[in-house]
Amino acid sequence: MGRARELAVRDREVRAHERAHQAAGGAHAGAISYDYRRGPDGQRYAVSGEVALDLSREESPGATLQKMQQVRHAALAPASPSAADRRIAAAAAARANDARAELARGGNGALVQRDTPAGDAAGGGPTGRYAEVAAMTGGELMRLGGRLDLSA
């Protein structure tokens, strides 16, 4: 297979993968961003891409639960989710579980601000997991996608 043909195949795969994330993410997905490589035929081909997904909490545990379920679905939407996609799905699932736990404790739907006990900050409870996810992502948005080196 020629180099231009390989790049064209990769371009279609990348675009389909990122569109799947965006379509499933709905209002919780940002715009698609692509990285391009110029082929031997002078055409630009998408070789990698990313979509930001919003992992921030909502005003109530119920709304957070629904949002995290959609974000998890969006992360796993492509036919072949990447390792980064699976990490984001796991982070969304952890936040969904925390929201479920808050609902089970009788959360009244309002966002509650709590002091963080020392054990919780070390990852022992929901606040620790939120901090871990935020540290892992650098904030509340996680980007789905990755870079593929086609120069090899």
Is residue 45 one of the residues assigned to a domain?
yes
> For position 142, what pLDDT does the model report?
56
Give how many domains the chain has, as a whole number.
1
Is residue 99 one of the residues assigned to a domain?
yes
Is residue 76 one of the residues assigned to a domain?
yes
Averaged pLDDT for residues 21-38: 98
Averaged pLDDT for residues 121-132: 42
pLDDT in tens, 59-76: 999 999 999 999 999 999
The Cα-based distances of 3 to 39, 59, 85, 151 in angstroms read 7, 50, 27, 11
57: β partners: none
Whole-prediction pTM value? Answer: 0.70
Is residue 135 one of the residues assigned to a domain?
yes
Is residue 151 one of the residues assigned to a domain?
no
Is residue 60 one of the residues assigned to a domain?
yes
Domain extent, residue 70, equals: 3-146
